[in-house]
């Protein structure tokens, strides 16, 4: 029975992977590549390479949708031909009948996670680099202008409460991959602005874990904001974090990072104090964890709706799948926005749509079993 039910699901699943990934890659990549080939002279072989490299990203997105389509179409066919009635008359419960769908969903969940971690980030990054080189717009492997690092710390106020305040601001106008140029550092580590460092250039000294500043001026500021001393220097070593150099390194886009790479990036930007970027990256990391489990949700929903006694064509099943997919991802988009606004925690922003969907699916399953 399990082999028979599984065989009913494999065909629609493969059809769904082909259909959904084809539509996604056509809208998301193909049209843009055709425009670049015809209008901007992108070589055809490069366009084909970029197209193939972008395929895994859309295949991963198609996996959950294909599970929904496969279970809905497979069980709808069985229900329409009264095979579900025959199974139930033999003592097979609804819960037992959907076991093959759940097992397939779990398998596709693991496949989705593997693709999303091992294949998609590397393929997307290579596609970006290949396209930039072909268009002669390759970006340097670092951020070359306006490097800003803001250091925060918790200080105790007179009333005894600790608050988070800025203790240091590091700004470099340019970066050539080795040397920062046009630097300004504001030091508030003692509670108030105590010194301002202006320097022509600076390099990181890995041997001593310090910054070497060249041709600059240190303005020492006393109480009330008045200058109490001015020190000019040709070479000065300052004990500052290495974080500005890490922030200058070119960061990959979210789709080009695995979970491990995203967590490493999170550690770096967390030291910079940019709360918006920190929250956004935390939400994206949780979404990477949650995405594969959408396969389980869609497997339960599809099999539960399909197993109910009714007659539905393949076109009807496809239409129902589109409505469910649109509704789920609309909810996911809304919770994601709430997460980035701080209304929801990153965990809740990523997992709340899945929790709501599972609650609805379990309710439908209990109702179908009665």
244 within 8 A of 137, measured Cβ to Cβ: no
User: Is the predicted pLDDT of residue 154 greater than 60, yes or no?
Assistant: yes
Among 313-317, 320-324, 343-347, the range of highest mean pLDDT: 343-347
pLDDT of 314: 67
Confidence of residue 250 (pLDDT cuts 50, 70, 90): low
Give the residue with greater pLDDT, 266 vs 309: 266
User: Is the predicted pLDDT of residue 138 greater than 60, yes or no?
Assistant: no
Helix axes 314-340, 294-307, angle to 10 degrees: 140
CB atoms within 10 A of CB 183: 22
160-194: per-residue pLDDT in tens? 777 777 888 889 998 888 889 999 998 887 777 88
Among 72-86, 155-169, 337-351, the range of highest mean pLDDT: 337-351
pLDDT of 286: 93
User: Is the predicted pLDDT of residue 249 greater than 80, yes or no?
Assistant: no
User: Is the predicted pLDDT of residue 309 greater than 70, yes or no?
Assistant: no
Among all chains, which residue has been given the structure tokens 């996604």? 24
pLDDT of 8: 87
197-236: per-residue pLDDT in tens? 999 999 998 888 899 999 999 888 877 767 778 889 999 9
Which of 266, 273, 267 lies closest to 153, judged by CA?
Answer: 273
Q: Which of 67-81, 172-186, 228-242, 305-319 has the lowest mean pLDDT?
A: 305-319
Cα angle at 15 between 333 and 323, to 5 degrees? Answer: 35
295 within 8 A of 67, measured Cβ to Cβ: yes
Task: Report the C-alpha gap between 102 and 108 in whole angstroms.
Answer: 10
pLDDT of 141: 64
Confidence of residue 350 (pLDDT cuts 50, 70, 90): very high
């Amino acid at each position: 029975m399990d082999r028979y039910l599984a065989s009913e699901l494999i065909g629609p699943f493969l059809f769904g992977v082909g259909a959904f990934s084809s539509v996604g890659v056509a809208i998301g990549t193909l049209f843009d590549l055709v425009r670049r080939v015809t209008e901007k002279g992108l070589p055809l072989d490069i366009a084909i390479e970029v197209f193939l490299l972008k395929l895994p990203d859309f295949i991963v997105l198609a996996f959950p949708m294909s599970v929904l389509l496969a279970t809905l179409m497979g069980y709808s066919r069985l229900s329409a031909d009264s095979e579900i009635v025959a199974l139930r008359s033999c003592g097979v419960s609804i819960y037992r009948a959907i076991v093959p769908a759940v097992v397939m969903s779990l398998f596709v969940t693991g496949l989705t996670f593997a693709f999303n971690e091992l294949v998609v980030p590397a393929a997307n990054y290579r596609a970006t680099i290949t396209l930039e080189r072909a268009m002669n717009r390759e970006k340097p492997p670092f951020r070359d202008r306006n490097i800003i690092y803001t250091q925060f710390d918790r200080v105790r106020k007179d009333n005894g409460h600790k608050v988070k305040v800025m203790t240091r601001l590091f700004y470099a106008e340019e970066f050539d991959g080795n040397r920062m140029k046009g630097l300004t550092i504001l030091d508030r580590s003692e509670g108030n602005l105590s010194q301002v460092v202006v320097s022509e250039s600076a390099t990181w000294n890995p041997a001593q874990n310090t910054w070497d500043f060249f041709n600059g001026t240190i303005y020492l500021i006393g109480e009330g904001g008045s200058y109490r001393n001015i020190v000019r220097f040709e070479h000065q070593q300052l004990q500052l974090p290495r974080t500005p150099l890490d922030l200058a390194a070119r960061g990959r886009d979210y789709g080009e990072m695995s979970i491990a790479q995203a967590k490493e990036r999170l550690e770096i930007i967390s030291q910079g104090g940019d709360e918006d970027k920190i929250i956004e990256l935390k939400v994206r990391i949780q979404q990477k964890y949650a995405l594969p489990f959408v396969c389980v949700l869609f497997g339960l929903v599809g099999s539960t709706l399909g197993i109910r006694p009714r007659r539905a064509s393949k076109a009807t099943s496809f239409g129902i799948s589109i409505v469910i997919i649109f509704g789920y991802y609309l909810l996911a988009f809304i919770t994601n926005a709430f997460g980035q606004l701080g209304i929801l925690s990153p965990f809740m922003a990523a997992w709340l749509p899945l929790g709501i969907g599972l609650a609805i699916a379990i309710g439908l399953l209990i109702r179908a079993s009665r």
